[in-house]
Structure 1
Amino acid sequence: MSQPILYLDYTKTTADLINAGIKKSDIFYPFASPDKKDYLNFFWTWQTSMSYYDRLLNVRPCRFYYINKTSMEAIGGFDKGCFIVGISAGMVYQLKKFFIEDNEDIFIRFADDAFSNLNEIGINSLQSLMRDFSLRFAMDHEFGHVIQQSDNRSSWSIEEFNELTNCDEIYSEESHIREFDADIRGAFGATSAILGYWDSTEECKKTEEYLRILITSGIASIACFFSLLPTADFYVEKFKHPHPVIRIQYIMTYLHNMLRDKGQLRSMNWDKLFDDVWKISNLFLNRKADMSVTNLYDVFISNRQAISNHIKTTLLAKYKNYPYLALNKPAALALPKIDMLSLHQLEMQDYMLQDFRDGF
């Protein structure tokens, strides 16, 4: 993939970060990696997306880089005079291992008829697609934290995610709402990727089944992403981040509201689609013999009312109390032209959120 603009050159971009004060030893350089192509394509896609939003949202300069760590970590925010999004090299590797290397045959019986379409738009398998969707979610989640700091660049420096979080985190209502906001931005990014693949498909091949597979794999990839992280038993008002099952539920609802106006989606059976999301997520997770896997669906069913109440009475009811959130900035949820879509989401934002509130 060509990189025609200077800030899409990874070496030049990271040089900017080093000049801003980030240690060179903290930056991962993928040029000797066997996955070099993937790393640079993700970088190109993400830095291109930020180039669309940086002026629109007053987050200039904004730079993306790979953190030189093997664990699953990510950062997003304002530091050393620069807006920053960072994803660890370990996250890219672990998501590839989980979705592609450990589960290479998992979708054969689920979606045989989708492979020819996916191959024509450059996707080798649904496993690769799920890896891509989960990374896009993580990147856009961290960019949500960047957007939150566009008005006040000194309120906090960097929002950090790592695989060891939970036990030492302190709960606050604002922290849950801030993570909810960043999750919605992450879901928005995954949705724009889903629609990007859909719009890249020939009209004669745009079937409801094909779109259902794209949506199901997109949502399931996010559910798996959360499930790969250690977490406590179900909780509501604890820790800095909402419980993964709460996060999965409001992300699924948001994706439903954002996607349903797409032609063939109007007649889609969403109950069956969400059922498939849980089944596919557990299909992946239950094959991890070295993991202690929580059955996501059972946790969801057992706590459905508590999940709905927390989303409705805290997250949705109070996010407008925090003007700095991405949800309160319509331009933050406008689909960029690089995703081959119009900016009609800018006008859709208000009614989508109203439907989101009504869904609980």
Structure 2
Amino acid sequence: MDIDFMYKLKEYNIIDNPFDYKYLDAEIIEKYQFFADQFEKLYEEKNERYNLTDCFFYIRDDISCNAFARNKRGYNIIGITKGYAVQMLEAFDEKIISNNSINKLIESNNGSISSGYKKLLKTNDFSVSKFMLNCSNQFTFGHEFQHILQFNSSKIIVENYISENIDLSNFCIKRHAWELDADFFATWDVFGYILNVKNGYYFKNKQDINENAFICLLFLGIGSICITKTFSYFGKWNYKNDIKKINFYTKKHSHPHPLVRILHILDSYHDQIKDSFPSLKIDKQGLLNNVMLLMEIYFKTQSPNKKILSSFFKDIDRYLNIANEYKDELYDIAIKDEAIRTLLNKRNIKFKE
């Protein structure tokens, strides 16, 4: 992160409230630098592919957990808050996501899935907590980057700003469609990252991840996304406090309801697996069952005295049809949106009219 340039952008009111952590203790600096390095690298890779200019990533001095994209005076800004870094490290701490979690998944499965998780435990240099944190960061960055592309594809030349947290007073159905579009392509980024892990790109010694272990990586990857979206579902990240669920809605607020987004993400992810690896024969129900199992183990470990998922399951039963209908409505709006259509055509992606 170029600190001098960051302060110039602040001086010209391109960014606000940048977090300069270089004077903190070395251990704390390392934690924030991990996120800065990862997001900056991802941004550089995307910029080369999409030929974008004037791109900058920074961490905002804000204790809330949030990520955002902004296009202002020609600058393409992606950022996270310092609260995002703190709470993501907390959420995917090894004390919560550990080998013990994998052992519980082994006990709860049998046959090929159980052997796949055993293979991951024996794989050198593989950390399940770090893998899930990376998947979640890939999703966050991919989502915000898609907003940057939407801004640049839109013919409306105004300042654009979208953050990940729900604004309860601001509804726009086009914005809802943009959010699902961003989730779709962020899911592709996670899928691509998992393929790289499968092919050994992130190990010191390249190893062969067999088919069963690859399937388990796919479950863990989508599980990490659903876990973070479940945090949004209950309106907070700190389960030490009382939990207040966000009541289900459709045409309200700045973002689609987290349940709509989770269902959309699961559908998109399953379609990607089916199209890319049909031989794996992972059906939608099997994917959902394994994700729910992972989430159940996770939340029982993190918050043993709170029945978090029981409320989530009740809402799925109650609102599934409405959520799917609204998801389909947003798809129809998305493919008619000029910015989204332009991006789809540039990527040679076929879509149903």
- TM-score normalised over the length of structure 1: 0.78
Question: Of 21, 30, 38, which aligns to 1:29?
Answer: 21
- Percent identity reads 18
Match of 1:44 in 2: 37
Match of 1:106 in 2: 101
Offset, 1:26: 2.4
The residue type paired with residue 270 of structure 2 is H
Match of 1:338 in 2: none
- Retained in 1: the 8 A contact 2:10–2:18? no
- Return the alpha-carbon distance in structure 1 between the equivalents of residues 207 and 141 of structure 2: 32
Aligned to 2:164, the other structure's residue is in SS state strand
Offset, 1:203: 8.6
- Retained in 2: the 8 A contact 1:219–1:277? yes
- Return the alpha-carbon distance in structure 1 between the equivalents of residues 210 and 176 of structure 2: 38
Q: Does 1:306 align with 2:299?
A: no
Deviates more, 1:175-184 or 1:26-35: 26-35
Return closer, same or farther for 1:220/1:265 CA change in 2, 3 Å cut-off. farther
- Return the alpha-carbon distance in structure 1 between the equivalents of residues 12 and 251 of structure 2: 37
Match of 1:6 in 2: none
- Retained in 2: the 8 A contact 1:208–1:264? no
- Return the alpha-carbon distance in structure 1 between the equivalents of residues 283 and 206 of structure 2: 22
Deviates more, 1:196-205 or 1:57-66: 196-205
- Retained in 2: the 8 A contact 1:77–1:157? yes
Return closer, same or farther for 1:85/1:290 CA change in 2, 3 Å cut-off. farther
Return closer, same or farther for 1:46/1:172 CA change in 2, 3 Å cut-off. same
Match of 1:323 in 2: 338
Match of 1:86 in 2: 79
- TM-score normalised over the length of structure 2: 0.79
Moved runs in structure 1, 4+ residues, more than 6 A? 201-204
Structure 2 unmatched runs, 5+ = 106-116, 236-244
Return closer, same or farther for 1:207/1:322 CA change in 2, 3 Å cut-off. same
Deviations 1:98-133 (A, max 9, x none): 22155144233323431232x34xx3x212211221
Deviations 1:76-99 (A, max 9, x none): 021244110001121121111122
Match of 2:112 in 1: none
- Return the alpha-carbon distance in structure 1 between the equivalents of residues 70 and 17 of structure 2: 20
Match of 1:337 in 2: none
- Return the alpha-carbon distance in structure 2 between the equivalents of residues 64 and 291 of structure 1: 37
Match of 1:335 in 2: none
- Return the alpha-carbon distance in structure 1 between the equivalents of residues 191 and 14 of structure 2: 32
- Return the alpha-carbon distance in structure 2 between the equivalents of residues 91 and 268 of structure 1: 32
- Return the alpha-carbon distance in structure 2 between the equivalents of residues 23 and 239 of structure 1: 25
Deviations 1:177-196 (A, max 9, x none): 11111212221222221122
Aligned residues: 322
- Return the alpha-carbon distance in structure 2 between the equivalents of residues 305 and 21 of structure 1: 45
Q: Does 1:242 align with 2:229?
A: no
Structure 1 unmatched runs, 5+ = 1-8, 333-345
Offset, 1:16: 5.8
- Return the alpha-carbon distance in structure 2 between the equivalents of residues 181 and 263 of structure 1: 23
Offset, 1:277: 0.5
Offset, 1:65: 1.3
- Return the alpha-carbon distance in structure 2 between the equivalents of residues 227 and 291 of structure 1: 14
Structure 1 segment 220-235 matched on structure 2, within 5 A: 220-229=223-232, 230=235, 231-235=245-249
Match of 2:139 in 1: 137
The residue type paired with residue 216 of structure 1 is F
Offset, 1:208: 2.3
Offset, 1:23: 6.3
Q: Does 1:281 align with 2:283?
A: no
The CA RMSD measured in Å over matched residues stands at 3.0
Structure 1 segment 286-297 matched on structure 2, within 5 A: 286=300, 287-288=302-303, 293-295=308-310, 296-297=312-313
- Retained in 2: the 8 A contact 1:20–1:81? no
Return closer, same or farther for 1:40/1:224 CA change in 2, 3 Å cut-off. same
Deviations 1:286-343 (A, max 9, x none): 432587735333322322211221112x111121221213x641488xxxxxxxxxxx
Aligned to 1:100, the other structure's residue is in SS state coil
